[in-house]
Structures are given as C-alpha cells and as structure tokens.
Amino acid sequence: MSIISLQFFFLFFIISVIYFLLPAKVQWIWLLIVSLGFYYSQMYYSVAGIIYFLVIIFVNWGGTQFLSNDNPKRKIIYISVLMFDVITLVLFKYSKFLYEIILAVGKLFNADLTNDICGLIVYYTQENCPERISYFMLILIAYITDVYWGKSKALKNPGKTLLFASYFPLMTSGPIVTFEQMENQLFGEKHRFSYDRYVRGMERVLWGLFKKMVISERLAVIVSRIYDHYEVYNGLYIFIAAAAFAFQLYCDFSGLMDIVLGISEVLGINLPENFNTPFYSVNLSEFWRRWHITLGGFLRDYVLYPVQRSKGFKNLRKWCKNNLGKGYEKKYNIPLYLSLLVSWFLIGLWHGGGWNYIFGVGLYMWAVIVIGELLSPFFGWIVRVLHINTECASYTLFLRLRTFLLFIFGLSFFRANTLKDGFLMWKAAFFRFNPWIFFDESLFNLGLDRREWGILIFGLILLFVVSFISQKRDVRDFIKEQNFVARLAVFAVIFIMIIVYGYYGADFNAADFIYGRF
C-alpha cells in the first residue's frame, strides 16, 4: 500500500480515531498491529520476507537481553549480533553486486568463477529481501550498540522491540531513529487528540504531496528523457538534467519525509528532521549536514567516531604527531581524512550496490571535501590578495552556486545506470555548446509542453519561497499568524494544485519513491 494513496489516507483516519480512543497502556499495541499490517503490504504480502524480518528482530532482541554490565561475555554477544546484522544486510542487499565483482575478477585472470550455488543465493536473496532493510537494519544496529554502550536499556518485551523497528511511518524511507528518540514517545506517553496538532500534521502532509506530485513527477519526465538519450540530448542538456535531478530527488525524498513526519505528528510522535534547506549551503560539508540528516548522524555516531577511537587510529595519530609535528592536524590531518573515507565509502555503498553510487555520492564527495580542506589556506590567500568581501550577498551566492554545481556532478552518477554511463554523459556535456536551446523552444521537446513547464516553474518558485522562510522559522507558524481567509487561500491553492495539476503521467506509480527502493 502506498503512503500517498487514497486508500492509505482513508485507513489512516480510522487508525488515528481508534488510536486516540484507546487507553495509554495499549496504544503501542495498536501501533504494532498497524505497523505489521502496513509492512506486510509493503512486502507485497510475501510470507518469506515477513519471516526473515521477524527473525532479524528476534535475534537483535535476544542479543540485547544478554548485554547487561555484569555479563562477562557481553562483548562477544554484541559482536556476534552486530556481525549477524551486517552479514544479513550484505547478503540481502549486496549479494548481486559482490557476485558481479567476483565474476569481473575472474575475467581479469581468465578464470571462470561462476557458481550455481552463488547464483542461486543471489537470486533467492534478491527475490526475498525484506523491504526497507537499509533503514531498519541501521535502526537496529544503533539500538544494540546503545545498549552495549550503556546509553539505552534493553527492552524486555519483544513486541516493543518489534514496534520500535517497524513503526509504520519509518517503514517508507526512514528517518533513521535512535531508541533514545523514540522510547518515551512510543511507550511512555499517553497521546491524546489535539486539533492543532492534527491540522499542523496534515498541513505538512499536504506540502509533501505538493512537492512529490506537482514538482518531482514533472522533473522526472525531463530527467528521464535526457538521461536515457544523452547521446542525442548533449551539451547544455546534460547540465539541465543534472540540476533537474537534484531538485527531483530533493522534492521526492523531502516530500516523502514531510508526509511521514506529518502523519507521525498527528499521532503525537515527533520524528527527527531529515532535511534542512540544503541548497542554501556554502560548501559540501554543510550540504551533507543538511541533506539526509539522520543517515549522516548514524554514520557519525556509529562509524566515524568509533573508527577514530579505535586502537589502529590512535596509533596512527601517534605516528603522525611524532613524524609530522604537533600541529599536523592543521596541514595534513591524515587520521581524520582516512576515517572520513570509511564513512563516505559506506554512504555511497548504502545508496546501492553499484560503483556509480560508491563514486558519485561517496568517494567523489569525500575527495571534494578533503581537497577543499587542504586548499583552504590557498583560497584564504586569494581572498586577501584580491580584497574580496566575504560578507556580501554576492559572495554567499557564489559559494552556494559552487556547492550546487559540485553536488549535482556527483549526484548525476546516482541517476546514471552505471559508472561508465555517468562519465559518458558528462563527456557528451562538453561535446558541443548549444545555448540556443533556451530560446528556440527545444525545451518543450523534453516531455513537457508550455503549460506543464509553467506549472513546474510555479512549483519551483513556491518551493524556494517556502525554503527561504523556513531558514528562520517554521512556515506553518508563519501561515498560522495570518488571518483566516489568507490561510484558507494558501491551502486551497496547494490542495487544488495537487488534485488538478498533480502529474499522473503514463509512468506514474503511486508507490514509487526514489529512496523507497533501498
């Protein structure tokens, strides 16, 4: 069942009514029933997928029961459960990618490494992979790690562990939550009906639907036309496609997060934000702190910091200090850059089993950030020599445009079918210079007519206006301060735009969100 279908919203109304009528002690049980039913529908009613999901949850719940401080084997248990989670994630999500690597290595040495058993494992894991495994696995890894570190207490009730990992708004595309964020909200508070909260939640849902249906789906038409035929649509078309895909992905993913967070807000459960106006960032580091925030937070707390505290990196820091001097961090902070390399490689790998993901949203982003750090003294020297005013709006605009261009280059490989296609596409970008496409109506041959382009431009302008306001305050608070007629007009326009001008093209699939495929 799609979270943007009429069927879902009808059921959600019934779900919320029952939820608020129930006593506090059983509200979580109702959420568990709803979550399991929703996940079963997400699995397309696959019994095998549900069984694997339940086994994964039970193993993690069982492991946490033996992680008390007085257990001498707690480290062995923690590592065992952690390895189970990692191996399970690799098998279900990356078995095909790993098998392709094995075959490629075999070709290099003229060896046939094909194996019927390996092929069968790949086929079986791909066919029976639990939906949203990339999300709930990270939630579980964070949970057992927090219990091991003593930050959280282990849940004695397996049903509560199951709800924590499968809370139905999260079983779309996150956000990735921690037990500390969810414990009291799921199990410790009585959630009563609030008209204001209900309205605010549905306002956010409406905005998410607008971003998805009015903006993202139209941009998808342009992106698909150019990416699928980049040999024909070359030159500046490639830059158009790269920029359009950045906004398509943003509106698709952040739109879904608006729907998810809005639905959960209606129920009185506040989920962490996943986006914070990323296109206003002045460098890539800031950009990724504003984009997919919970994934970055997970990798920072459970990968980057533990790697930096590991014995090997402590020895590396000691070696750098002895051989590069005490101030080596200011010039060549090798331990930091290597730990960031691990994190960025995992970011790329998490997005998909393919070198285009690993390069485009992983290694490339790491390289740009590290090179920027290494060259920062040189950039500072240029600013001083040329007497550049770094406080003016034009300089800030320059930094934001630079960041945007650096980002869309890497992101373009995310959309490309393969790493090779990504490089061939950018080769085609410099094949010719064709600025006339902006003036001879060539853009109307990309799948959208003049009317559709007008709707898209209106949607993008509204997106930037809302993003600009939200830098300083919640837009819903701003709208609430206006008189009733103005508020009614705003939401009437958005609602009508979704119903009348929402894009439902031939390839539209109500269940299709880009990040929902991971």
Instruction: Specify the DSSP class assigned to residue 270.
Output: P
Alpha helices in 130-194 (DSSP H): 133-149, 158-166, 179-183
Q: Whose structure tokens read 């550049």?
A: 388
Read off the pTM.
0.92
Q: Buried b vs exposed e over 72-90: b needs ≥16 C-beta within 10 Å?
A: eebeebbeebbebbeebbe
pLDDT over 60 (residue 216): yes
> What is 427-444 written as a DSSP string?
HHHTT---GGGGTSSGGG
Query: What residue segments make up the domains of the chain, in order of their start?
Result: 6-188, 195-275+430-517, 281-415
Q: How far is 461 from 457, CA to CA, in rounded Å? A: 6
Q: Which residues contact 224 (CB under 8 A, 6 or more apart)?
A: 447, 507
Q: How far is 286 from 296, CA to CA, in rounded Å? A: 11
Question: pLDDT tens across 230-264, in order?
Answer: 989 999 999 999 999 999 999 999 999 999 999 99
CB atoms within 10 A of CB 95: 19
Give the sign of the dihedral formed by CA 300, CA 306, CA 307, CA 309: positive
Q: How confident is the model at residue 407 (pLDDT cuts 50, 70, 90)?
A: very high
Question: pLDDT tens across 99-114, in order?
Answer: 888 777 777 777 666 6
pLDDT of residue 173: 87
Q: Output the average pLDDT for the chain.
A: 89
pLDDT of residue 370: 93
The strand pairing partners of 275, in sequence order, are 291
Q: Which residues contact 317 (CB under 8 A, 6 or more apart)?
A: 335
Q: How far is 204 from 184, CA to CA, in rounded Å? A: 23
Q: Which residues contact 8 (CB under 8 A, 6 or more apart)?
A: 1, 2
CB atoms within 10 A of CB 347: 22
Q: How far is 354 from 449, CA to CA, in rounded Å? A: 35
